[in-house]
Amino acid sequence: MAKDLSLHPKTLKGLQTEVQSINRVALSVDCVIFGFDENTLKVLLIRSDLKKYKGMWTLLGDLVKPDEDLDNAAYRVLKQRTGLGDVFLEQVKTFGEVSRHPAGRVVTVAYCSLINVQNHRLKKMDNELHWHSVESLKDKAMGFDHEAIYLTCYQWLQKRVQEHPLGFNLLPKKFSLRELQNLYEAILNTKLDRRNFRKKFFSMDFLVDVGEEEQNVPHRPGRLYKFDFEKYEKNKKEWPGIGF
């Protein structure tokens, strides 16, 4: 049985013995990558090659390297799979059940990423890399504990998108209010009132009219806006108030 690290951490050498002992686990990151396309919220998955999970879908992940920060590992996976850098990425939760991985103890840190799929083609070298609508995922089986991880991240997104301006990461730089509303409706799986939605976002005062209009829409084009981060930082309210 391992000695207790914190109860008797007398010397650095003693600690090093502990740290380098058998008391170690494999550590991975798994990315839940969301995209928004055709008014649908989608998740990027790859097919599992493992016999045990034959035909099932899994999140994109990899082992964390010994000299690699967690965030960097997640960025690496993301870049590797999508070719995209400088995208939204945030740690959500760590899953460490002993038997969650058939190959042994693997603890995984789940990340949520939001990317703009506009003008983005997946690298088809990975021919089993596909977008799956959140809707369709209800009926699909996922390998490992990836369904639990995905659900955690999806619920995290649903909550988070209501209290922080994350959603814009899923849209092109310039977007119409209709697109923004479609996004929120897709994420929250609700219908929202168009006028109140508009009023809400204008009142928060971080949308800037870029003076352009939608192109190639089969109806009256809407104005295009961009999200102004500085304005948001200046005006954001600190006190949400108690309520539950």
Instruction: Please report, as ranges, the residues that interact with DNA according to CB under 7 A.
Output: 176-178, 193-196, 198-200, 203, 217-223, 239, 241, 243
Please give the biggest Cα pair distance in the chain: 73
Q: CB neighbours (10 Å) of residue 167?
A: 21
CB atoms within 10 A of CB 37: 15
Looking at 7, 124, 138, 209, which residue binds a copy of itself (CB under 8 A)? 7
In the complex, least distance from residue 225 CB atom to DNA, rounded to whole angstroms: 9
Within residues 77-106, the interface with a copy of itself by CB under 8 A covers 77, 80, 91, 93-94, 96-98, 101-106
Structure token pair of residue 112: 């949520």
Q: Which is nearer to DNA, 9 or 221 (CB)?
A: 221
**How near is the Cβ of 241 to DNA at its closest, in Å?**
5
Report the alpha-carbon distance of residue 205 to residue 221 in Å, rounded: 22
152 dihedral zone (left: phi>0; alpha: psi -120 to 50; beta): alpha
**String of DSSP letters for 83-143:** ---S-EEEEEEEE--TTSSTTS-EEEEEEEEE---TT----TTSTTEEEEEHHHHTT--BS
CA 237 – CA 100 distance, rounded (Å): 41
Q: Which stretch binds a copy of itself (CB under 8 A): 2-10, 33-41, 170-178, 210-218?
A: 2-10
Give dist(CA 224, CA 211) in Å, integer: 7
20 near a copy of itself, judged by CB under 8 A: yes
Q: Which does 222 bind (CB under 5 to 8 A by kind): a copy of itself, DNA, none?
A: DNA
Stretch that binds a copy of itself, among 42-50, 134-142, 208-216, 221-229 (CB under 8 A): 42-50
Q: How far is the CB of 165 from DNA (least distance, A)?
A: 15
Read off the amino acid at residue 124: K
* CB of 220 vs DNA, minimal distance in Å: 3
Nearest distance in Å: CB 144, a copy of itself: 11
198: partner contacted, choices a copy of itself, DNA, none (Cβ within 5-8 A by kind): DNA
Q: How far is the CB of 119 from a copy of itself (least distance, A)?
A: 25
Is the CB of 16 or the CB of 158 nearer to DNA? 158
